[in-house]
Amino acid sequence: MPWVTVVGSLNMDLVVPVPRHPRPGETVLGGDLRRVPGGKGANQAVAAARMGARVRMVGRVGEDAFGRALFEALAREGVDASGVLALADAPTGVALIAVSESGENAIVVSPGANARLGPEDLNPKDLGDAAVLLLQLEVPPETVAAAARLGRQAGARVVLNAAPAGPLPDALLANLDVLVVNAHEAATLLKAEPPEDPKSALSAARALAQKVPVVVVTLGERGLVYAGAEGEGHLPAFPVRPVDTTAAGDAFTGALAAGLAEGMGLKPALRLGAAAGALAATRPGAQPSLPPREEAEALLEGPGPD
């Protein structure tokens, strides 16, 4: 099985259920605090591993209890964490997450050690045998750009989940093979209003595909659209009852990367990702919500999007 290498963030998620998200200046009483391994990078690494991929993680944590817990979480999933170092001079990253009764989340991230992952920390050996290099934007942008460049040089298929939203330099876009964004992130890149339906999202994907070979725009309950060198189209969402959407996007992207690494075509890999994302939304937490391969395949075999 080819490798998926993930260069990205590792956080401890501090999750509180709330009846609704507070307005500015307002206090809302929530439920019991849960500590859940997270971070977009680590979430996507675990998601890919649960899809059966061989996964290597590159990142930074602090020399603290949260950092040790995150190492243990990766080890339980069989993720190679030799590229994750613990720093004595920075805390482990933390995400503060409020989850409403409707399953929507509001998140504040304190990057901690993630912000110390620099281009000089990237080892070409970690990227050299990767079929897919998976990136996000919770580590410094110069590190993301350097990783994409090294991945392209090594012959990996470079996938960027451009979250959280922010501008992307053309030099980075030139080294990408697949760009994954949600409606808000697509709007940020295009300096436009967020697409509200598959038709407008497909227009946004086409515009972004002028700079990246394949663009995927996720739309939550409205599914996803894709455009670029491998065709274009709309995949409806699998119908599920959402409980917590915290890591649904990470489940989708990690499963997409795993599918591409094992040689799937784009549309089958997107369907695998869509199934994983739908299942993740039905469970609380970040990494605990990420489904195994057999559950995603069972959903694919049942009634759902074509």
Ramachandran class of 199: left when φ > 0, alpha when ψ lies in -120 to 50, beta otherwise: alpha
Which ranges of 77-197 does DSSP label H, i.e. alpha helix? 124-128, 141-154, 170-173, 183-190
Closest CA to 214 of 157, 133, 130: 157
107 in Cβ contact with 95 (< 8 Å): yes
Look at the block and give the residue holding tokens 């997270």.
38
Q: Dihedral sign, CA of 175, 41, 116, 244?
A: positive
184 in Cβ contact with 193 (< 8 Å): no
What 3-state class would DSSP assign to 300?
A: helix
Closest CA to 260 of 4, 16, 77, 67: 4
Single out the catalytic residue among 121, 126, 177, 250. Answer: 250
Q: Clarify whether 121 is annotated catalytic.
A: no
Residue 305: other Cβ atoms inside 10 A: 17
Instruction: Report the distance separating Cα 244 and Cα 175, nearest Å.
Output: 33
122 in Cβ contact with 147 (< 8 Å): yes
Which ranges of 77-162 does DSSP label H, i.e. alpha helix? 124-128, 141-154
Active site amino acids: 250
